[in-house]
Amino acid sequence: MKFGYVGIAAGLFIGSLVGLVPVARAVETIKPVQVGISAEASAAIQRLSKTLSANDFSFQVRTIRVHLGDQGQPLHIFHNIKVTTHRPDRLAVQAVGDDGDNDLFYDGKTVFLVGFGGTKYVKAAAPDNTQAMLADVSKRFNVDFPLADLLDPAPRTAILSDVTSGKEVGTSMIDGKPCEHLFFSQTGGIELEVWVDKSDQALLRRLIVTYRQLAGQPSFIAEFSNWNFSTHPDADFTFQPPTGAKQIQLSQATSMHQAKGE
């Protein structure tokens, strides 16, 4: 996974919501096990990739992000997020957290971004696929989305991107179900812990990213639940402005975001 770290965005977006995204890839082909990645770890990621290749799915995730305060003290920001997607061109991300509500709705043509505690939103034309849209949004606002690889059309390739080694640590019980606990090292001093169901439908249960080369070794923690692979109606991706929310121009949002120094 391409886990860049861009700090906490308290403006239009939250750091755990939108951001650094890999470019769109062609249809995935199964490749031999990479040097340094055990056969067990590779097989687990392949099962997870098959699960994430569904055209429709949604999940809920609770995230905890650790960052450093102005005096170098570790601080935490929490979010509860629901992600709903339909490949290749529908996405809804609804987040409630310490900085209020932050949402994204994308219908294949237009993206709506809701921030500042749900009081302001931006409407913008968007590319015709989810990966290109997220990359465009990321570039404009310089924020990151550590979960973006889960939406990639080639999940296995995205998840193992820049990974130099990986192994199975053991078996953990999560909500009464056995899960494979995996550990990966990535270039740039990034370490990944991944927990995946020990089943044919290998659901992702936990993810921890640790940034060893950054001051304070900050981390990103995600716990997943409520996976659903039903087809979602178009209404799930249709934006309805929050009561009293004001539409602002993209240039205004960018200026307000940058003024916060993030």
Q: What is the mean pLDDT of residues 243-261?
A: 69
Does residue 196 form part of some domain? no
pLDDT band at 18 (very low <50, low <70, confident <90, very high): very low
Q: What pTM was computed for the model?
A: 0.83
Does residue 199 form part of some domain? no
- 8 Å CB contact between 2 and 162: yes
Reading phi first (left if > 0) and then psi (alpha if -120 to 50, else beta), residue 19 is in left
30 vs 221, which has greater pLDDT? Answer: 221
Does residue 34 form part of some domain? no
Q: What is the pLDDT of residues 85-115, one digit of tens each?
A: 999 999 999 999 887 788 999 999 999 998 8
- Gap between the Cα atoms of 207 and 103, Å rounded: 22
pLDDT band at 227 (very low <50, low <70, confident <90, very high): very high
pLDDT over 90 (residue 13)? no
Q: What is the domain count for the chain?
A: 1
pLDDT over 50 (residue 10)? no
Q: What is the domain extent for residue 79?
A: 39-162+222-257
Does residue 139 form part of some domain? yes
Q: For the domain that residue 45 is a member of, what is the CATH number?
A: 2.50.20
**155 by DSSP, 3-state: which?**
helix
258 vs 108, which has greater pLDDT? Answer: 108
